Structure 1
Amino acid sequence: MTEIQNPILPGFNPDPSIVRVAEDYYIATSTFEWYPGVQIHHSRDLVHWQLVTRPLDRAAQLDMRGDPDSGGVWAPCLTWADDRFWLIYTDMKRRDGAWKDSHNYLVTAPTIEGPWSDPVYLNSSGFDPSLFHDEDGRKWLLNMIWDHNQTGGDRFGGIVCQEYSVGEKRLVGEVRNIYRGTDHKLTEGPHLYRRDGWYYLLTAEGGTGYEHAVTMARSRDLFGPYETDPAKHILTAKDAPEAELQRAGHADIVQTQTGEVYMVHLCSRPLAETRGAPVQERYHIHTDDSRRSPLGRETAIQKLVWPEGEFPRLAHGGCVPAARVEAPNMPAYPVTPVPALRTFEDGLPPEFQWLRNPHRDRLFSLTARPGALRLFGRESPGSQFEHALVARRQEHIAFAAETEIDVAPGDYQHFAGLISWYGRFKFHYLAVTADADGARALTIYSCPADWPDARVEIPVEPIPLPASGPIKLGCDIDGARLTFRFSTGGDWQSLGVTLDQSAISDEAGNGPGNNFTGAFVGMCAHDTSGRGRPADFLSFRYEAK
C-alpha cells in the first residue's frame, strides 16, 4: 500500500483550500505579508506536490505596504465552476485589538496560470471567506463575522452567508448568520458542501494554537438550522500532546475521481527539544512547557470515510491526525525536486518571495548586474513598507543555507547579508557592514522575542573583513539551534555563538494565535540613510541535513 507522508506541504503553508479539476488537484494556502500573494501547489496523486503559481502578483490585486506582521493574505478559498477558477482572499490591514480591518476580494482565471482578473471587492465584515457554488448555479459567500462588542475574548460572531451576483459583481440580498459554532468557540474557516440532500458546513474552532479543531454541522436547508456532528470534532490534536502533528485544524475536503474522500488541514510540528525540556540558549526566553514550531503551520492530508447520509470520519479512526495515511488508488505522479543551489541568471527562483511591496523594482533587480540578485538597501528590518528582503521557507528541522555577497558598505547605516526571519521582532541576521571608520566588518543582529519584549542584541564583536571582494555567509540550523559561519576565500570560520532558532516561530513571544507565518531564510539589504545603496548576491544554497 502506498502511503502519503505528512505534511504534504512542509514549512509555512497554512489554511489549505483544495479543489479537483478532472485529474488535477490544487491547494491554495495563505501567504500573509509575503509577496506575491496566495501560494498554489499542484498534484495528480495527492502524494507529490509542486508549486505552480502565486496569482496575486500586481498592485491592482494586492498592495500590503503597511500591513502588520501576520497580516496580509489570510485563508484563501480556491474553487472551480463555470469553466473558471474562483479565488477568494482576505487582505488583513489591522488584526490587533477590538477591531479588525479585513477586506475580502474575488479574482478569477480560465487556467491556474492565469491570466487572473483584477479583484472584485466583496465585504469587510470578517475573515476566512469561501465561495459555495450550489447545484442550482447560485453562488454564496461565507465568512466568519467579527463582533467587536463581545468582551469575553471570543469576538467570532458566527458564520454568515450572502449571495454573490456574477452579473452585478457584488454581494446581494440578506446577510444571514447560519451557524454560531460550539462551546469550543472561535468558529471560523467555513467551507460548504452539498451531499446526499444535506448541506455540510465544515468549520475550524478553538483558535489556531494547540486547541485547534475541525467541526462539522449539517442542515437540509442552506440557511439552517445546522445540527453539529454528535462527535463534535472530526479532527483535533488538542487532547493528544504526544501526536507528531499538532495544532490540527482549518480544513477542506475533496473527492477523487475514483470516489475516495480526503481532507487537507493545517498542522505544526513542534521541536522535540521544546516539549518541556529547557534548551541551552543565550537569551533564556523559554518557559519549560513551551512548544515551538519554526516551520510554522504546514499542510497535511487525511483520508476520510463518508457513508451516505452520515457525517465523515477519519479512515484510521478517532480524531487525531496521522503522520502517514493511505494514498488514493491513482498512478504515481512524481515531481522534480527543487535544486539545492540557486543562481539568478534565469530570474528569481520560484520558491523565493519578498515582503509586502508590489513594486519589486524598488527592492531588487535581476538585470543591474547580470547573473546576480541586486537588493537595494531600503528601510530598516522593522519596516512595514519598503523592506528589501528576499527569502524562502524553512522546510526542514535541520538544514544549511549559504549565500555569496558582494557589497561595499560605506558606513554602518548600510548593511546586508544572510537572515533567518520570522517577522520584524524575531530574526537572526549575519550582516556585512562597516565600522565607525568605514572599514568592512561582519556582525550579528539578533532579535529573538516578540514586541513589546523585542530588543536587538549584537552577540559578537564585529569581525574585520577584507576591503573588497565577495564574502560567503552560511548558517546551520538543527532544531532549536542556529550557528553562523563565513568565508573570505578559504575555509569556513564559525562566529562562535549559538542562537535560539526556536524563537523564530509562531509560539515565541506572544504565542500561537497571535503569530501565523513561519521561519524563512534568505538575503536582505538595508540602508537606513535613505540612499538605497545596493548589495549583490551571487548565489543561494538551501540543503536539508
Structure 2
Amino acid sequence: MNQIQNPIIPGMAPDPSIIRVGEDYYIAASTFHWTPGIQLFHSRDLVNWERLDNILKNDEVELRGSNTPAGVWAPHLSYDQKTKKYWLAYSHMQNMAGREFNADSYAMWADEITGPWSKPIYLTSIGFDPALYHDEDGKSYLAILEWETRQGYQAPGHLVIAEVDLTNGGIIGSWHRVTKGFTTRGCAEAPQIYKRQDYYYLLIAAGGTGYGHGVEIGRSKNIFGPYEAHPSGEPIITSAPQHLFSLGDPDAGHFEMYNPNSPMQKAGHGSLVETTTGEWYIAHLMSRPLPGTLLNPLGRETSLQKMRWTKDGWLEMHDGSNLAKMTTEAMEGQVVPAKKSEDHLFDFATNPNLVEFLTPYRKQTSTWFNLTKRPGYLRIHGENSFFSQMNPAILATRATSFHYQVTTKLEFQPDHYSETAGLGLYYDSNNWLYLHLTYSEEAACPMLTVLQAKLGKRVEYPHHRRLMPTGKIELKVIYQNGVAKLAYREDQKWEILIEDIDVSYLSDEGVNGEPGEIGGFTGLFNFIGSVDAHQHDSFADFSYYAVKNVTNA
C-alpha cells in the first residue's frame, strides 16, 4: 500500500488552505510577521510541494512593529466555478494587547493563481480566520470567528456566516451566529463551508493552537444553520483523542493533552479537498516537538490525512479513527513518487531565484538587497539591529528538520563596531542567534564574533572572537535537536568557534509566552543579514547560501 509521508510541507507552513483546480493542487499558508505575506505551494501528486510564490508582495499590508505572533493570519483559497476566478481571504492581525485582537479581513481575486491579484477588498473587522464559499446560485458567503471580548461570555466567541459583497466589499444583510463549536474542546475558529449532496458542512478548528488542537465538523441543510454536530461528539482529526472539556478557554497550550505515543502533535485547522479520482483529503497543521521536550522549533507544519464519507453522510478519517498519523494512504492506483529534498543551494551567480526567502516585518525591496550591484553576489545593505521590528536587513528560509547545517560565504569591510554581517538562526526580534563579522577598533580590521537575543535579552560572547583581516569568510551553523555549533573557515579547514549553545528556546513554546500559553506559533528560520547602526553606508556581499539536512528528522 502506497503511503504519503507527513509532513508534506515541513517547517513553518501553518493554517493550510487547500484547493484543486483541474489537476493542480494549491496550498496557501500563514506568514504572520514575515514578508512577502502568504506562502503559496503547488503540487500535482499531493506528495511533493513546490514553493510557487508569495501573494502579498505589493504593499497590501504593513507589518513593521508587529508583535509575535500578529501579522497575516489564516489565508483561505477558493475557486469560483462560475466566474473562473481564484479568491484569497485573509486577516491582518494588528493588535493582540488586552486580548482585543484587532484584525481586518480582506479578499483578493485573480484570473490565474500566480496573479496578478486584485487590490484587497475590505470585508470585516469582526474577528479573524475568514473563509469564502461560492454557492451554486452565484451568491458568496463569508464564514469567520466573531471575537468575544466581554467578561462572562464564552470565549473566543461565535462562528458567524453572512452573505458577502465581493464587488464593493462588506457584508449583505446580517451576521448569523451558527455555533461556538461542535465538541467540548472550545476555542472554535477557522470556519470553512463545503457542500455535498443536500448538506452544507462547516469544518472548523478547535481546542486552541496547542496540544489540544483538532478538526471538528457539523452540517446543515441551510447555510445559516442550525448546524448539527458530528455524532461522535469528538474532533474528526486530532493528535490527542482523549476527551477534553475546555469550553470558555479562549486558547491555551493544553500541555496535558500531549500524546506520548505519537510523533505528531497539535493536529488541527484543516482544509478539505476532493481529488481527480473522487477521493477526499484534509490538509491540516501539525507540530513535532524536540525529543524529550514540549518545544516545537519547526513551528506548525502541513500534513495530509485521507478521509471518507460514511453511509449517513458524515466525514471521518479513512481508517475509521480520529488520530492523525505520520503517513496516510495515497490515491488509488497512485505510485507515490520519491519525496524531494528540502535542501537549498543558492549560488547567487547561477541561481538568482529568491522566492524561498522571507523577511521579518519589513518589505523586500532593492533598496536594501539586490543581485545587480555586484554580479554573482547577493548584496545586503545593513540597517536596523535585529532587535528591531522596523527595518532589519534579513533574508531567511524555513528550518525543516531537527538536524541540519546552514552555510554561507561573504565579503564584508566594516569600519565601525555597529556594522555587522553574517549568518544565524531567527524566530523573532526578541529571539535569535547571530554569527557575524564586525569591526575591531583595537586591531583596526574585521572580527568574527557571536551575538544572541534570548527572550529580549542581549547576550554577547566576548571569549569567542577571531580577527579576520581580509573580511572574507565562510560561516556555518550546525543545528541538532535544539543545540547549535558555530564554525568558520578562511581557507580549506573548518574551525569551531563555539559549540553546545542551547537554542531550543527558538520554538513556539520557548519564546515570550505566558505560563500555560503558546508564546508564538510561527517557527525557526535560518538567515543571512547585515546591520548598520552607524551611517547606513556598509554592505556585505554573499556568494552563496546553502542548507543541508543531515537527516530526515
With normalisation by structure 2, the TM-score equals 0.91
For the Cα contact (< 8 Å) 2:360–2:428, is it kept in 1?
no
Q: Aligned pair in 2 of structure 1 residues 48, 270: CA closer, same or farther (>3 Å)?
A: same
The alpha-carbon deviation at position 387 of structure 1 amounts to 0.9
Matched with 1:327 is 330
Check if 1:244 corresponds to 2:266.
no
Deviations 1:481-526 (A, max 9, x none): 1110011223111113311232111011327633011110010111
Matched with 1:38 is 38
The number of equivalent residue pairs is 523
Which segment is superposed worse, 305-314 or 196-205?
305-314
For the Cα contact (< 8 Å) 1:460–1:497, is it kept in 2?
no
- C-alpha separation in 1, matches of 2:49 and 2:344: 17
Q: Which amino acid aligns with 1:54?
A: N
Which segment is superposed worse, 85-94 or 507-516?
507-516
Deviations 1:63-116 (A, max 9, x none): 212222322110000011121110111111112322122111111111111111
Deviations 1:363-395 (A, max 9, x none): 312212211111111111111111100010111
Matched with 2:383 is 378
For the Cα contact (< 8 Å) 1:196–1:308, is it kept in 2?
no
Matched with 1:177 is 177
Check if 1:349 corresponds to 2:348.
no
Check if 1:305 corresponds to 2:308.
yes
Matched with 1:539 is 544
Aligned partner of 2:287 among 268, 281, 289: 268
For the Cα contact (< 8 Å) 1:418–1:430, is it kept in 2?
yes
- C-alpha separation in 1, matches of 2:338 and 2:44: 9
- C-alpha separation in 2, matches of 1:264 and 1:79: 14
- C-alpha separation in 2, matches of 1:487 and 1:17: 43
For the Cα contact (< 8 Å) 1:419–1:521, is it kept in 2?
yes
Which segment is superposed worse, 335-344 or 412-421?
335-344
Check if 1:442 corresponds to 2:448.
yes
> What is the SS of the residue equivalent to 1:97?
helix
- C-alpha separation in 2, matches of 1:127 and 1:374: 38
Deviations 1:201-230 (A, max 9, x none): 111111111111111111121111112112
Aligned partner of 1:233 among 223, 232, 235: 235
- Unaligned 5+ residue runs, structure 1? 275-290
Q: Which amino acid aligns with 2:415?
A: G
The alpha-carbon deviation at position 531 of structure 1 amounts to 2.0
Deviations 1:463-490 (A, max 9, x none): 2323224111101111121110011223
- C-alpha separation in 1, matches of 2:311 and 2:170: 35
The alpha-carbon deviation at position 24 of structure 1 amounts to 1.0
- Unaligned 5+ residue runs, structure 2? 243-258
- C-alpha separation in 2, matches of 1:469 and 1:526: 15
CA RMSD of aligned residues (A): 1.9
Q: Aligned pair in 2 of structure 1 residues 212, 88: CA closer, same or farther (>3 Å)?
A: same
- C-alpha separation in 2, matches of 1:466 and 1:380: 22
The alpha-carbon deviation at position 358 of structure 1 amounts to 2.7
Deviations 1:405-438 (A, max 9, x none): 1111112111111010111111111121123434
- C-alpha separation in 2, matches of 1:492 and 1:66: 38
Matched with 2:69 is 70
Aligned positions of 1:87-106 closer than 5 A: 87-106=88-107
Q: Which amino acid aligns with 2:296?
A: S
Matched with 2:504 is 502
Which segment is superposed worse, 360-369 or 195-204?
360-369
> What is the SS of the residue equivalent to 1:304?
strand
Matched with 2:295 is 292
Matched with 1:132 is 133
Matched with 1:472 is 474
- C-alpha separation in 2, matches of 1:253 and 1:474: 41
Matched with 2:52 is 52
Q: Which amino acid aligns with 2:416?
A: D
Q: Which amino acid aligns with 2:261?
A: E
> What is the SS of the residue equivalent to 1:223?
coil
- C-alpha separation in 2, matches of 1:530 and 1:130: 46
Deviations 1:285-328 (A, max 9, x none): xxxxxx11111100000011112443211112321111111101
For the Cα contact (< 8 Å) 1:460–1:495, is it kept in 2?
no
The alpha-carbon deviation at position 337 of structure 1 amounts to 5.0
Q: Which amino acid aligns with 1:190?
A: P
Deviations 1:22-77 (A, max 9, x none): 11111111111111111111111211211112121111x22212222322110000
For the Cα contact (< 8 Å) 1:400–1:543, is it kept in 2?
yes
Q: Aligned pair in 2 of structure 1 residues 336, 293: CA closer, same or farther (>3 Å)?
A: closer
Check if 1:156 corresponds to 2:162.
no
Aligned positions of 1:401-480 closer than 5 A: 401-437=406-442, 438-449=444-455, 454-480=456-482
The alpha-carbon deviation at position 533 of structure 1 amounts to 1.9
Aligned positions of 1:474-489 closer than 5 A: 474-489=476-491
Check if 1:215 corresponds to 2:216.
yes
Q: Which amino acid aligns with 2:324?
A: P
- C-alpha separation in 1, matches of 2:429 and 2:401: 22
Q: Aligned pair in 2 of structure 1 residues 348, 386: CA closer, same or farther (>3 Å)?
A: farther
Matched with 1:198 is 199
- C-alpha separation in 1, matches of 2:399 and 2:152: 37
- C-alpha separation in 2, matches of 1:418 and 1:205: 38
Q: Which amino acid aligns with 1:344?
A: F
Matched with 2:23 is 23
For the Cα contact (< 8 Å) 2:36–2:363, is it kept in 1?
yes
Matched with 1:283 is none
Matched with 2:371 is 366
For the Cα contact (< 8 Å) 2:330–2:336, is it kept in 1?
no
Deviations 1:115-140 (A, max 9, x none): 11111111111111100112222101
Q: Which amino acid aligns with 2:300?
A: R
For the Cα contact (< 8 Å) 2:48–2:340, is it kept in 1?
no
Q: Which amino acid aligns with 1:341?
A: L
- C-alpha separation in 1, matches of 2:219 and 2:355: 40
> What is the SS of the residue equivalent to 2:501?
strand
- C-alpha separation in 2, matches of 1:105 and 1:529: 39
> What is the SS of the residue equivalent to 1:230?
coil
Q: Which amino acid aligns with 1:105?
A: Y
> What is the SS of the residue equivalent to 1:262?
strand
Q: Which amino acid aligns with 1:65?
A: R
The alpha-carbon deviation at position 462 of structure 1 amounts to 4.3
The alpha-carbon deviation at position 530 of structure 1 amounts to 4.8
- C-alpha separation in 1, matches of 2:295 and 2:417: 34
With normalisation by structure 1, the TM-score equals 0.92
Which segment is superposed worse, 480-489 or 91-100?
91-100
> What is the SS of the residue equivalent to 1:434?
strand
For the Cα contact (< 8 Å) 2:510–2:519, is it kept in 1?
no
For the Cα contact (< 8 Å) 2:91–2:106, is it kept in 1?
yes
> What is the SS of the residue equivalent to 2:297?
coil
For the Cα contact (< 8 Å) 1:448–1:500, is it kept in 2?
no
